[in-house]
Structure 1
Amino acid sequence: MSPLDRKLLRDLWRIKGQAAAIGVVIAVGVAMLVMMSGLVTSLVQTRDAYYDRYRLADIFAPATRAPDRLAHRMAAIDGVSAVEPRVTGSALVDLPGLDLPVQAQAVSLPDLSAPRVNDVFLTDGRMIDSDHADEILLLRSFARAHGLRPGDRISATMNGARHGFRIVGLAQSPEFLYTTAPGELIPDDARFGVLWMSRSALSAAYDMEGAFNEALLTLAHGANEAAVLDAVDRLLAPYGGTGAYPVADQTSNRFVSEEISGLEASSAAVPPIFLGVAAFLLYIVISRMVQSEREEIGLMKAFGYTDTEVGVHYFKLVMAVAVGGALAGCLLGIAGGRALVEVYVIYYKFPFLLFQLDPASFAAGVSVSILSASGGGLLVLRRVFLLTPAAAMRPPTPPDYSRAGNIGRALNAWLDQPSRMVLRRITRQPGRMAGAVIGIACGMALSASMITIYAAFDRTIDLTFNVMDRSDVTVSFTNALSDMAVFELRRDDSVILAEPRRHVPAVFRNGLNSHRGVITGIPPGARLGRALDSQQAEIPLPASGIVLSTALADILNVRPGDRLTVEMREGRQPTLQIPVTAVAESLLGAPAYMNLAALNRALGEPGRMSGVLLAIDRDRAPALYAALRNMPMVAGVSLKSEAEAAFLKTMNTGAGAIRYVMGAIAFVITFGIVYNAARIAHAERYRDLASLRVIGFTRAETAFVLLGELAVVTLAALPLGSLLGHYLSFAIAAGFSSELYQIPTIFDPPSHGFAAIVVIGAAAVSGWLVKRDIDRADLVSALKTRE
């Protein structure tokens, strides 16, 4: 081993604390890149393989009632490779121990063969026998949530009639990776299920013999999707077609794709932050080391080492930290990815999901960490090349402190000697102190912004379920009913208030921007469900016009006063040009609101509603639930308390769980920055502190000279960190927001206070570690010149 390499090992051991802290920061950045890239690869490959193996449809074409012969005409459309007509419908499943029936979707399977499109993956039991009309397959996650197994019997209400069924198997399907009840966006295995029946049995239940109400199509390679959609819509228009849509707009696939897009964005944006911080810290550490080792550099050059050899020596030090951190990050990324992939198996109903390593992420993580570290190191190595032996072996020019002027001189009479030392250090080296303040402030900003996001998630829940929606129960009907039905519910003794609603599927268009969503009709003066602005003030719904949520307005790129093209997908399906009158705050989904009477007029169906919001007396709720169970026109009943619990669970899993990982990482970064600031200050003043001990300063007084500086820098960083954290929370909230939920940006004083406590705690721990080293210092060795 060469003498320079032996010196390298000694230097690494001497700065092991700082090297470890910087290595952890690099490891975190690389781990995030490896973990998120691996999750993206795993989700994409598993999704695509699952879709391909079980032949998920490329186009979904719902209708009211279309004859079977129409399937042959759709199969003849240019670009269509397969067509599968089927029957679907809503069902209410009665389960023992539950006051309310559970909503479910019934889906038909061909009688005599396996489905050509949207096949099912059988996990337990056997397939149904079309000769037995009472046999069904049940969605596996729903069955497990209620403890159901093959052989059990259940009853369900379909099309107003009650039927008894026997479960013969449990299944999963690529169509139902993300399962939600109609009209809801939050998945809950216990509150929504899917059951598969033979085509003949389900057709009889819904009066669909010889007809279908949904066609599934797969496209040939290179087919024109838009042309096929138009052709299918023309064929189904006379039969109540509500608009064919591609798999990209299918609910389950859309949310899975959004999850993947969010992970891709995070993997591209988050790791550079940590690697940039690591490069900054390495620059400071190596620059201070070069400054303190001027004489040693001069000696090495005087003994014949070239500029390149000396520069490579210090560059090896940078590379040792960078490569060590990168390799540790790769291992952490693998462990984290394997842990999180289990969450996605539960959250999304994949039959299998193995964590797939992305070799490119390893190469990118290691190379980027090396490049970022090299960027900071090369700036320092310029000084090494510029130093000549004669100049390096002379002490550096004493710094000029005359510019400090009389700063702090007025305080000298009030301060003791150690305090004056702290004050002189700060006032004579303002640039160095400013760098430490900015570094600690950035660490606090990360912590403050992440804790603010936690508070914003809680605020989302409160605004959604307590301010915007003040109902207790939501009742949905099988089809649009006369608004006289609301008076029947108001007569129930347990109902305090009842408000009608109408939900109409529609396609919104603004130029090249479009969105497939739902219009919610709200009566004037609604009290249970309201459209609110950003100040939580109620938005009056005019007799003409539409109010869009902030998420939908951003998707369509419209503002109040713009005109919007709305294609209704219900009733006569008119296409309207409607002015946007306001933008409403919405934290769940991307809804649109209209005056209920105006919506009904547009459809040519006055006095109609598709659901009711109820405020109830909970002590009398069982009687209401029993009444709703026996109403044939009721398609589903949803309790807000259960929806809130499901929403909270959703936020704590999947993409929502990433915020906890990022929060922990923010704390690691904060501690790393503060600890490095303390260690660098200690390394710079190691000889001076030893001199103070020799001339008679106590251990406490000596430690105060160093730790007092750290305390002043830390306290000065708190207000700057709070300010930076407030603005950083806007970017993080935008990253976490999706069509499923939007995270509001708020200023939460307790979050900033807690982040300040974290920074102060990190400074206290760092100070304690440094003081321990000061107390253990060998004064004789410290005063010797290292050569």
Structure 2
Amino acid sequence: MLTHPAPLTRKLTRDLWRIRGQALAIAAVIAVGVMLLVMMTGLTASLSETRRAYYDRYRLAEVFAPVTRAPDRLAADLRALPGVSRVETRVTGRALIDLPGQTLPVQARALSLPDFHSPALNAIYLTDGRLFDGSRADEVVVLKSFAKARGLHPGDRLTVTMNGFRRVLRVVGFAQSPEFLYATAPGELVPDDARFAVLWMSRTALSAAYDMEGAFSEALISLSRGTDPQAVIAGADRLLDRFGATGAYALKDLESNRFITEEIDGLKRSAASVPPVILAVAAFLMYMVISRMIQAEREQIGLMKAFGYRNREVGSHYFRMILTIALGGALMGSLFGILLGRSMIDVYLIYYKFPFLVFRLEPSSFLIGFGASLLAASAGGLVVLRRVFALTPAVAMRAPAPPDYSRSGRVAARLSRLLDQPSRMVLRRITRQPLRIGGAVLGVASGLSLSVAMIAIIASFDAMQETTFSVIDRSDLNVSFTRAIAARSAFDLARIPGVIEVEPVRIVPAILKHGRDRYNGAIYGLVATPRLNRAVDAQGQPIPIRDGGVVLSTGLARTLKIGAGDHLQVEVREGRRPSLSLPVVAVADSLLGSPAYMALDGLNRALKEPLRVSGAYLRVDAARTAEIYRALKAMPMVAGVSVKSQSVAALERMMDEGAGAMRYVMALIAGVVTFGVIYNAARIAQAERARDLASLRVLGFSRNEVAFVLLGELVAVMLLALPLGALMGYGLTFVIAAAFSTDIYQIRPVVSPASYGWAMSVVIAAALISGLLVKRDIDRADVLSALKTRE
């Protein structure tokens, strides 16, 4: 077993204290990489495990089969399908809630529960109050997030419109459900607790409200282990088809589950891509520091070998230094990763409605974090340690041969005639040691590229928001109807005083198929030249809506493995529910979701339902919104109204306070890494030139002139690194944007001059701080001690 003599241990302590600034900077970079790894893997494990336990405990269905109206007897037929474990039927419907002081009603979804027992599937978690009494038709349990946002309490009363009839319900309790981890109003992507509610009532009461006695409008199905959901979905659609089935779908396609799955997958991608980059930077820094130290301690290495220390003991001394720095950084990173992960849990609870969410420490993340940090540091240091083994005592104790500069610096020699003495010294250093300067330039450029990428991602999120609500959606209100209605009825909206413009739209729910691939989605029928709700590509340019065919988003085309010229099979899930074969006329990038577009007239012709619309976008006079809201509220055909200003506010909250706040954490981390790189570059240059700088002081140079010789080199490194880092940052922005993008939304990279300006400001600020710290040490340096040190 290898032992470490006391003298080497004391030397290790002295060496670490002497390079404490550089050691702390490298440890900080390692800590950042490990912190991100621990935090992201911990969040991934926490969200995944809590979701799994929540789904299991409250028996969330694995297949959902909505239908217009099916008799209760069909439940037995569904249970007889191969692979089906349990079946629960229920009544569902859309509702509107009138609140005191609110002009517009709140959209809600009403769901039934068994009158006197717990449901076999999709149970709820009661957080306050009690469950409704099955014998009382006016009692209701409300989604907790809505109740909290609206200040409701058990015992309050709500005026609710169901199936066209108003009724007063008494709130008896609040609940959460695994079915609504991410609760959004119909047609919206961003949750707003105050604008969407879920109401649970007894099966008897809700059946009476929606004329569903002896019938159901949705079947919930759980599967036996190993059962293919698609086989059960096909069987359920076959049984329910003649009763108005709108298309069964698996749990993975449940909107709430899709959002949480995308979040988990995004964390996994980030954990696999960002920490390795940061740890690679730490390895590079370790290489630079240990390389300089071994070069400066050649004589000491020779003396240790002359006194009988073996190669492995000397090498082990420097390797212990590497391990000490790496382990210290990994330990700090683990602790900060736990703290940051726990703080992020509170952020996730704002938008994902778990009853609880505890940050779970994933043991593998610690093992991977420590292992990766040790591997990265060792990779940087072991390359240099080969020199220790190659040195014999005689060679090590002899001063190294001076480098041959006879063939270098010819251009510099011509320029030096125009420069003063300190400037010539800076120029000689750059031209005579290009590899060292190149390494420093690459390190600073790496830090700059990370800052450019993260600042650009922040700008990209802002640009996505601007594009969504200024380029795509130019309306003020979005009105949805209870069913597809005659187009002339939609244009009746234009007669409301204060409505400036009306643009109809038809959204048809459908199952899109190509070969064996399928997607539960919808076809969006737009007017020939949309103005208020436009389809745009990733560059913000309008997507031409061609008549006679469908335009697919790139993501949807990739899911269905289909291209322009192919035919898309469309099973419409409303009205007569025809099956259509539509040509794909184009595939275009999209910023939001996975849409399929058609010309409104062409869609209606294909459905053989001319002049029908299912909603409209309105541009209104802001001074008359209250009057417009009252008019819309009085229209029985209006199922819901979305106000764009409220959607914008909800998205801003999510980006600044919710999961989108992660990008600010990443930007801060980029700044820490950048500072660590620049500070180390400055410290290494100072250590390498300590004797030269002391000589200049003896020769009569002032402190400022001596500092200029060193800091001028740092400035030159910065000037060379800025364009390289800007170029590297441009490419890294696209990589990180792809990691942040999901099937639900795509981040379009925005690398603007402002992004470069802010990133360069971070680099310059780090350089100024590093320069001040180095200059302070130069001014305090002991000239005699530096002169006694051999090169």
- With the length of structure 2 as denominator, give the TM-score of the two structures: 0.98
Does the C-alpha gap of structure 1 residues 537 and 50 become closer, same or farther in structure 2, counting only changes over 3 Å? closer
Question: 2:374 matched to 1:370?
Answer: yes
Letter in 2 for 1:780: L
1:249-260 paired onto structure 2 within 5 Å: 249-260=253-264
Q: For residues 511-567 of structure 1, what are the alpha-carbon distances to aligned partners after superposition, in whole Å with 9 as ceiling and x for unaligned?
A: 454322221111112211112244544333222111123433343444433433333
Q: Does 1:445 find its partner at 2:449? A: yes
* 8 Å CA contact retained: 1:571, 1:603: no
Quote the residue 2:602 is aligned against.
Answer: 598
Work out whether 1:560 is the aligned partner of 2:571.
Answer: no
Say whether the 8 Å CA contact 1:494–1:616 is kept in structure 2.
yes
Whether the 8 Å contact between 1:155 and 1:164 is mirrored in structure 2 is: yes
Give, in whole Å, the separation in 2 of the partners of 1:577 and 1:210: 36
Distance in 1 of aligned mates of 2:587 and 2:409: 57
Determine whether 1:101 maps to 2:110.
Answer: no
- Whether 1:160 and 2:174 are equivalent positions in the alignment is no
Q: Which runs of 5+ in 1 are unaligned?
A: none
Superposition RMSD in Å = 1.5
Classify the secondary structure of the residue corresponding to 1:484: helix
Q: Which residue of 1 aligns with 2:762?
A: 758
Alignment of 1:168-247 (within 5 A): 168-247=172-251
Which 10-residue stretch deviates more, 93-102 or 141-150? 93-102
Partner of 1:80: 84
Alignment pair present for 1:470 and 2:474: yes
Q: Which residue number corresponds to residue 327 of structure 1? A: 331
CA gap of 1:220–1:557, structure 2 versus 1, over 3 A, is: closer
**2:548 alignment partner, one of 540, 544, 547:** 544
SS state of the match for residue 226, structure 2? Answer: coil
User: Which secondary structure does the structure 2 equivalent of 1:403 belong to?
Assistant: coil
Tell me the SS of whatever aligns to 1:659.
Answer: helix
Tell me the distance in 2 between the aligned counterparts of 1:514 and 1:23.
Answer: 50
Q: Residue 159 of structure 1 contacts residue 632 of structure 1 at CA under 8 Å; is this kept in 2? A: no
Q: 757, 777, 780: which is aligned to 2:784?
A: 780
CA distance in 2, matches of 1:720, 1:567: 53
Work out whether residues 31 and 331 of structure 1, in 8 Å CA contact, stay in contact via their aligned partners in 2: yes
Per mean C-alpha deviation after superposition, the further-off stretch among 110-119 and 552-561 is 552-561
Aligned with 1:263 (options 263, 267, 273): 267
* Contact 2:129–2:173, Cα closer than 8 Å, also in 1: yes
TM-superposition CA deviations, 1:680-739 (whole Å, max 9, x none): 000101111111111111100000000000001101111111111111110111111112
Q: Structure 1: how far apart are the matches of 2:774 and 2:56? A: 59
Q: Which runs of 5+ in 2 are unaligned?
A: none
Amino acid at match of 1:62: P
1:91 corresponds, among 51, 71, 95, to 95
Q: Secondary structure at the match of 2:135?
A: coil
1:694 corresponds in structure 2 to: 698
Secondary structure (helix, strand or coil) at the match of 2:318 reads: helix
- C-alpha distance in 2 between matches for 1:709 and 1:272: 29
Partners in 1 of 2:464 and 2:540 — Cα distance?
Answer: 13
Name the aligned partner's letter for residue 119 of structure 2: P
Partner of 2:428: 424
Whether the 8 Å CA contact 2:236–2:248 is kept in 1: the answer is yes
Specify the alignment match of 2:533 in structure 1: 529
CA offset at residue 130 of structure 1?
1.6
1:150 aligned partner, one-letter code? P
Give the alignment partner of residue 649 of structure 1, picking from 622, 639, 653: 653
Q: Structure 1 counterpart of 2:260, which letter?
A: V
Q: Could you tell which deviates more after superposition, 299-308 or 509-518?
A: 509-518
Shift of 1:437: 0.8
Determine the structure 1 residue equivalent to 2:488: 484
Counterpart code for 1:599: L
Aligned equivalents of 1:740, 1:545: Cα separation in 2: 24
> Equivalent of 2:634, from 630, 637, 640?
630
Q: Aligned ranges for residues 235-314 of structure 1 at < 5 Å?
A: 235-314=239-318
Which range moves more in the overlay, 403-412 or 694-703? 403-412
Aligned to 2:141, what secondary structure does the other structure show? strand
1:151 to 145, 150, 155: 155
Letter in 2 for 1:661: V
1:656–1:736 contact (8 Å) kept in structure 2: no
Contact 2:54–2:178 under 8 Å retained in 1: yes
What's the CA shift string for 1:175-224, capped at 9, x where partnerless?
01011111122111111110111111111111111111100111122333
1:639 aligns with 2:640: no
Equivalence map 1:318-397=2 (5 Å): 318-397=322-401
**Secondary structure of the corresponding residue to residue 190 of structure 1:** helix
User: Which residue in the other structure is 1:736 paired with?
Assistant: 740
2:26 aligned residue (22, 28, 35): 22
Task: Please give the alpha-carbon distance, in whole angstroms, between the structure 1 residues aligned to 2:488 and 2:96.
Answer: 23
CA distance in 1, matches of 2:267, 2:547: 42
- What's 1:413 paired with? 417
Return the alpha-carbon distance in structure 2 between the equivalents of residues 647 and 198 of structure 1. Answer: 34
Question: 3-state SS of the aligned residue for 2:618?
Answer: strand
Are 1:514 and 2:518 matched, yes or no? yes
Contact kept in structure 2, 1:404 and 1:428, CA below 8 Å: yes
Tell me what 1:714 maps to: 718
Q: Take 1:379 and 1:223, find their aligned partners in 2: how far apart are those partners?
A: 53
Q: Quick one: distance in 1 between partners of 2:790 and 2:326?
A: 26
Cα gap change, 1:405 to 1:671, in 2 (>3 Å): closer
Letter matched to residue 565 of structure 2: G
Distance 1:336 1:747 in 2: 28
Counterparts in 2 of 1:583 and 1:464: CA distance versus 1, 3 Å: farther
Aligned-pair CA distance for 1:600 = 1.6
**CA–CA separation in structure 2 for the residues paired with 1:511 and 1:392:** 72
Equivalent-residue separation in structure 2 for 1:605 and 1:27 (angstroms): 63
Q: Report the identity percentage.
A: 61
Size of the aligned set, in residue pairs, is: 787
After superposition, what is the alpha-carbon deviation per residue over 1:433-462, rounded to whole angstroms, capped at 9, x for unaligned? 111111111110000111111111111111
2:730 maps to 1:726: yes
Q: Secondary structure at the residue paired with 2:45?
A: helix
Amino acid at match of 1:514: R
CA contact (8 A) 2:553 2:590 kept: yes
Q: How far apart are the structure 2 equivalents of 1:619 and 1:268?
A: 51
> Are the equivalent residues in 2 in contact too, given 1:730–1:745 (CA < 8 A)?
yes
1:658 maps to a residue whose letter is M
- Residue by residue over 1:632-685, the C-alpha shift from the partner in whole angstroms, topping out at 9 and shown as x without a partner, is 121100001111111222223444222111111111110100000000000101
Give the aligned partner of residue 56 of structure 2: 52
| Worse overlay, 506-515 or 525-534 | 506-515
Q: Distance in 1 between matches of 2:377 and 2:73?
A: 68
Cα distance in structure 2, aligned partners of 1:352 and 1:538: 43
Partner of residue 122 from structure 1, selected from 126, 132, 137: 126
Deviates more, 1:737-746 or 1:424-433: 737-746
CA distance in 2: counterparts of 1:540 and 1:697, whole angstroms: 71
Q: Distance in 1 between matches of 2:417 and 2:74?
A: 98
Range 315-324 or range 69-78, more displaced: 69-78
Question: What is the one-letter code of the residue matched to 1:737?
Answer: S
Q: Aligned partners of 1:169, 1:473: CA distance in 2, in Å?
A: 32
Cα distance in 1, alignment partners of residues 566 and 719 from structure 2: 50
Aligned residues of 1:229 and 1:245 also touching (Cα < 8 A)? yes
Structure 1 moving runs of 4+ over 6 Å: none
Match of 1:505 among 509, 514, 518: 509
Alignment-derived partner of residue 457 in structure 1: 461
- Say which SS state the counterpart of residue 186 (structure 2) adopts: coil
Q: 1:684 and 2:688 equivalent? A: yes
Letter of the structure 2 residue corresponding to residue 626 of structure 1: R
